[in-house]
Amino acid sequence: MNRDGMDEKSIESILTDLKSKDTPYERVLSSMCTYPHPVAVMAHAQFIEANLGDPGLFAGTAEIEREVVRMLGTMYGTSDAHGHITTGGTESNIQAIHAIRNARNLREPNIIVPESAHFSFDKVADVLKVTVQKAELDSDLKVDLSSVEDLINDNTIGIVGIAGTTEFGQIDPIRALSDLALSENVFLHVDAAFGGFVIPFLPDRNKHGRGREYEFDFTLPGVTSLASDPHKMGFSTIPTGGLLFRNSSYLNRLSVDTPYLTVASQQTLTGTRSGASAAAAYAVFKHLGRDGYAQIVHRCMDVTHELVARVRKFGIEPLIDPVMNVVALDVPDCKQVRSELAKRGWIVSITRKPCALRIVIMPHLTSENMRLFTDDLCDVMRTG
Ligand SMILES: *Cc1c(COP(=O)(O)O)cnc(C)c1O
């Protein structure tokens, strides 16, 4: 660290230089994050010093967090959700399995996740010492139910379903998993880190407010917990994750006494926690409302369908018809194609198995820049 303090202007100029090295989102086709909504940024700045780790000192911020949890709960089919704001899907997944592990208290516990599960479940295995078994996928890249059934044994404490897989944007058969969880008496955690702010707003909604085929939340009786990230398609600021439990007994399994705080105990993984995240989520939920989110999701889906139609003309097929705004394109030599695209300034990612070119159509990607992208993609494919 420098000994003498620097003036603000010089620091600002250094930061501006460094920031110019970051990739602008307009060229990023690989991320599930995007520009936060300006209203979220405003609220974040207003609550910058608020620490939800010590909620007695920040009664108003704590009220905001309770309201965010309540709003998320009603979005996911329960008027009585119990949970808190986390730093994101990873922390939510860790704490959900942590609660299940503590509730079951077996010597060698295991859980079953789809092969398509996010790598945060590898962290779950490492941190919690829970064996994570991976179930196979079917030809639609949804978890294969019989594979899950085959893996359940006496040490199984829970199963995980993904509502919006990171790589393929696919939704596991959560109703069937819910039935299985009930009949096997195990917990069901739904990882809707990405899909939580997409699925409820997809077009072609019937009179119940969403496509019946995409039931994924607490309306299904076997679902015990759910992760949904406002900092992805919720347009809140980073870090804002959401972790919800069907009832408080699970959350209480995470309680730790906190003698020197204004409250007696804490159930969160982190101690000091951002109140700014809570305020940002609250503000953007209120500002956009369900219709605002639906409009944005519909626009992303339109761009997604345009992209797929365009690449199909060049003989490129998606692995599955897009369910949400994530597409995996079946291109030969996808690693090579990825690096050729990078030379042209496009950041795409690839999937693990099968290897495909993965594109997340976030709201920062317009029809126009996706047209430029598909032209470059087709050019790369032609010229090799
Ligand atoms: C993004 C994602 C995660 C991890 O969330 P972070 O906020 O990056 O920790 C977990 N699960 C799924 C399905 C995701 O898409």
CB 41 within 8 A of CB 237: yes
Is residue 21 over pLDDT 70? yes
Collapsing DSSP to helix, strand or coil, 1 comes out as coil
Give the Å distance between the CA of 291 and the centre of ligand 1: 24
Instruction: Tokens 């992805």: give the residue.
Output: 232
Could you tell me if 64 and 285 are in contact, meaning their C-beta atoms sit under 8 angstroms apart? no
What is the pLDDT at residue 383?
83
More confident residue, 353 or 147: 147
Distance of alpha carbon 223 from alpha carbon 233, whole angstroms: 22
Q: If pLDDT is split at 50, 70 and 90, which confidence band does 36 have?
A: very high
Residue 318 pLDDT > 80: yes
Q: For the ranges 51-60, 72-81, 256-265, 341-350, which has the lowest average pLDDT?
A: 256-265
One-character DSSP codes across 242-283: EEEESSHHHHHTT-EE-TTSSSSEE--SSSS-BHHHHHHHHH
Q: Is the pLDDT of residue 210 over 70?
A: no
Instruction: Give SS3 for 308.
Output: helix
| CATH class held by domain 8-36+289-383 | alpha beta
Amino acid at 238: I
Q: How many C-beta neighbours within 10 Å does residue 362 have?
A: 23
CA dihedral 261→264→270→272, nearest 10 degrees, is -20
Weakest-pLDDT range from 197-211, 282-296, 298-312: 197-211
Report pLDDT digits (tens) over 117-168: 999 999 999 999 999 999 999 999 999 999 999 999 999 999 999 999 999 9
Tell me the CB-side half-sphere exposure of residue 272, using CA atoms within 13 A: 3
The percentage of the chain sitting over the pLDDT mark of 90, rounded to a whole number, equals 94
Q: What pLDDT does 365 receive? A: 97
- Residues 354-383 have a mean pLDDT of 95
C-alpha 309 to ligand 1 mean position (Å)? 28
CA of 78 to the centre of ligand 1 (A): 22
- Which residues sit with their C-beta closer than 6 Å to ligand 1? 32, 88-90, 93, 118, 120, 162, 166, 191, 193-194, 229, 241
What is the C-alpha to C-alpha distance for residues 295 and 201, in angstroms, rounded to an integer?
A: 8
Give the number of C-alpha atoms closer than 13 A to the C-alpha of residue 111, restricted to the C-beta side: 31
46: tokens are 């207003």
Condensed to tens digits (0 to 9), the pLDDT of residues 221-264 reads 999 999 999 999 999 999 999 999 999 999 999 999 999 888 99
Ligand 1 centroid–CA 295 distance in Å is 23
Residue type, 32: M
- The C-alpha R_g of the chain, in whole angstroms, comes to 22
Q: How far is the CA of 3 from the centre of ligand 1 (A)?
A: 40
* Mean pLDDT along residues 83-106: 97
**Pocket probe mutation, ligand 1, options 229, 235, 236, 240, max atoms within 8 Å of Cβ:** 229
Ligand 1 closest atom vs CA 162:
13
3-state secondary structure of 357: strand
Nearest atom in ligand 1 to the alpha carbon of residue 32 is: 1
Q: What pTM was computed for the model?
A: 0.96
Q: For residue 371, what pLDDT is reported?
A: 95
Burial pattern 140-155, b for ≥16 Cβ within 10 A else e, equals ebbbbbebbeebbeee
Separation between Cα atoms, residue 338 and residue 228, nearest integer Å = 29
Interval 356-373 mean pLDDT: 96
CA of 91, closest atom in ligand 1: 9
Residue 88 is given by DSSP the state S
User: Strands 326-330 and 357-360, how do they pair?
Assistant: antiparallel
**Half-sphere exposure in the Cβ direction for 40 (13 Å, CA):** 23
> Residue 212 — pLDDT band, cuts 50, 70, 90?
low
Query: Predicted confidence band at 382 (pLDDT cuts at 50, 70, 90)?
Result: confident
Q: What is the pLDDT of residue 359?
A: 98
Ligand 1: which residue has its CA nearest to atom 3?
89
Q: Give distance in angstroms: CA of 105 to centre of ligand 1.
A: 26
Domain 38-286: CATH class, spelled out: alpha beta
> Which residue minimizes the CA distance to atom 12 of ligand 1?
193
Place of tokens 């007695």: 56
Residues forming beta bridges with residue 85, ordered by sequence position? 242
**3-class secondary-structure state, position 191:** strand
Q: Which residues pair with 159 in a beta bridge?
A: 112, 188
Which two structure tokens, joined as six digits, stand for 378?
Answer: 């087709």
Residue type for 367, please?
A: S
Q: What is the pLDDT of residue 213?
A: 61
Domain ranges of the chain: 8-36+289-383, 38-286
